[in-house]
Structure 1
Amino acid sequence: MGTLNSTLKFYMPVLTIVPTIKSACLPRLVQLSHLHTSPNSQAPVPALPEKGGKTRHGIIPEEIFQLLYPKTGVTGPYMLGAGLLTYILSKEIYIINHETFAAACMGTVIIYGVRKFGPDVAAFADKLNEEKVQKAQEVKDLAMTSLAQAVLDEKKEQWRAEGRQMLFDAKRNNVAMLLETNRRERVHMVTNEVKKRLDYQIALQTLHRRMEQEHMVNWVEKNVVTSITPQQEKTSIAKCITDLKVLAKVQQAKATVAI
């Protein structure tokens, strides 16, 4: 009993640390629980590990040993387990009976079965898991391929849309050119029509001027003819005959000199 009391006295600080650690970790656990259960949370769900964490003796997590090492040293966890077991048995918190031996036998059979058939079952489970993962990967690859093709199709459609914009610009330019051609044709038609009317006015003025000139010439000639007397006419005819004779003599003299 003295040894037991000394052992309990040695591990009492450790036992007092456990509630402190629990009280310190409880708010964080509540906060993490709220983080994963809140509908407004946008935090990604952590991926499940493919393999379990490290354990000692098959069932004791390695984290417990790492937690107790700073306070108790390397042998502390084992002494804590032995002390707790001794305390539970000495205080008759747990009483050894036939069920204990039955549980020990069952545990032995279970451990033997796990060690004997565990690798084969694990390999079979891994094979099933790999098949599921392979199928999921095939579905993922198919989805990625279809999505990549959809992205390419979308880019092609965007490129075609840009081409449509260029086509619309070309059509607008063609329409603008047609409108400009139509406008110039109408301007040319108006110019020709105006030129024809101006030419008509010029021809009309020329005709009026020519008719006035002819009328003036006829009027002057008529007045001149009417103003000449018979005596003036005879005198003019005689003078013309005289001039013709003189010209004939001159021409005859030139011909004689040339010979």
Structure 2
Amino acid sequence: MITTDFVPGSPCWLDLGAPDVSAAGDFYGAVLGWEFEPMEDSGGAFGLATSRGRTAAGIGLLTERGARSAWMLYFFTPDVHETAASVLRAGGTVRVEPQDADGWAAVAQFTDPQGGRFAAWTPGRARGLEATDDPGALCWTELYTSDASAALAFYEAVFGWQREEMAMPGGGDGTYVIVTPAGQPRERMHGGVLQVPAEQLSLSQGVPDWHPVFTVTDCDAAAATVRTKGGEVVVGPSDAPGIGRMAVCLDGAGADFVLMTPAAVPTY
């Protein structure tokens, strides 16, 4: 599970790059129950989404030329500069150099050797997410990649993640690899890595992709709202035995995410 007592390598923040910040806030407000408030000094270019009064995500204006709308996942680090150095040593790329985010945090963005984009966060005034694992909040992270073995070796070198292999839920082909922050018990597992053929990465334009999974109380109802608000349900809703009911979705601008109603007794 994802908690807010962040340790090195655990997910601690996420934000969305959107072509229309207000429209994105409206979409996720309807689907996840968020309240969105633009930051006064951003000119409407960035704001915070809250779930039951707790910070659940950021939404900002997509400014990178040619980039698709997408979620960016941030992992906790006590020193973002050292993490940047570790990324380079492990064969990754620094996309955005470590920088101060107006005192909120020190952040940097990276690309793993296969092309998956992710980020790191060293707290400043803001420690990170205040809402996790509850309805409307981040509950899991997933990497779809063309080379799971190489990707896992990279992230283990950068963050020290522990891994555990399991059969695909529902008897599907392949192996699903669960990752947990270094030195943490199994209960602190925070994500999964799945190898898929390049042709199955169409949602991310053919490159490996980290995407967020959000808890919802009723996956079918939330998926229906995705459709009515101009998004798309790509897969599901469907049941994953022992995991929950899930739907792979796109928002109105094409950013991918997953909705999940957990099983009564999650076994992952």
Q: TM-score, normalised by structure 1?
A: 0.19
Greater Rg by CA: 1
Considering fraction of residues, name the structure with more strand.
2
Structure with more helix by fraction:
1
Return the TM-score normalized by structure 2.
0.18
